Amino acid sequence: MVAGVALAVAGCGRDEPRPPPSPSAPSGPDFVVLSDVDQRILTDIRYATAYNFIGRPVDGYQEPLCLLTTRAAEALRGVQDAALAVGRSLKVYDCYRPQRATDDFLHWAGQPGQDAMRVAFHPRVAKAELVDRGYLGAPSAHSRGSTVDVTLVDVPAPEQPRYVPGQPLAACTAPQAQRFADNSVDMGTGFDCFDPSSHIDSDQIDPTARENRRQLRQLMTAGGFVGYDQEWWHFRYGDEPWPDTYFDLPVTRSSAR
């Protein structure tokens, strides 16, 4: 059954202010699988893997899929057209995020220890401070189905190395050559780097990374998406169909229409 919740607890990053969500659940979102709308957009759904700040697959991510509302997916296809025209492709890290996943984030944050991935995601911020400092908070636009975490990749896309649990970790704030070998262009930090250097206007990154961030934001903004200043990767579709409703469907093909 589709679930709309009246109060959502967020995952990565506090979202922009929104009106209080509606307490009534709609009949169902019009989720689609992004690859069915545009196979050219690359996907790297980190929360379905062990390479994320928790260090294991996140609750609710049953398949490594990008689910979005039809409206957001079609808009992202237009952004991909524009990106390919300048020799780059979009790659999404996260799309729709179920409420149970945001609950999982907050549960993890409240548990002592369990921070084996700290070096790769929050090397300069203690786990106990992530909520108080705003890196984990509520609510999350992702649970409304029209928000994506996204980057740019050169075309043709370099191979994306696989993470092997237990392999040595590198700080997400380190120079690109030292970080986890993501095939993204250099954005100055890794994805989900809980650090001030992830802010869109950070002066802690080099000119190449600043230009890459500028290009990503320009492409996404032209396509109707709204950025989030504290996370270079986070964009919400401005004309989202469910601005006040947070869903808890699992990330699986059966949740798409």
Confidence of residue 213 (pLDDT cuts 50, 70, 90): very high
Whether the predicted pLDDT of 13 surpasses 90: no
Which band of pLDDT confidence, cut at 50, 70 and 90, is reported for residue 9?
Answer: very low
Active-site residue flag, 240: no
Q: Which of 159, 211, 231, 240 is catalytic?
A: 231
Annotated binding residue 149: yes
- Please write the tens of the pLDDT for every residue from 119-130: 999 999 999 999
Four-residue CA torsion sign, 54, 153, 83, 42: negative
CA nearest to 71, candidates 193, 225, 234, 251? 225
Calculate what percentage of the chain has a pLDDT beyond 70.
Answer: 89
Residue 142 assigned to a binding site: yes
Domains by residue range for the chain, with CATH:
4-255 (3.30.1380.10)
| Parallel/antiparallel/unpaired status of strands 231-237 and 225-228 | antiparallel
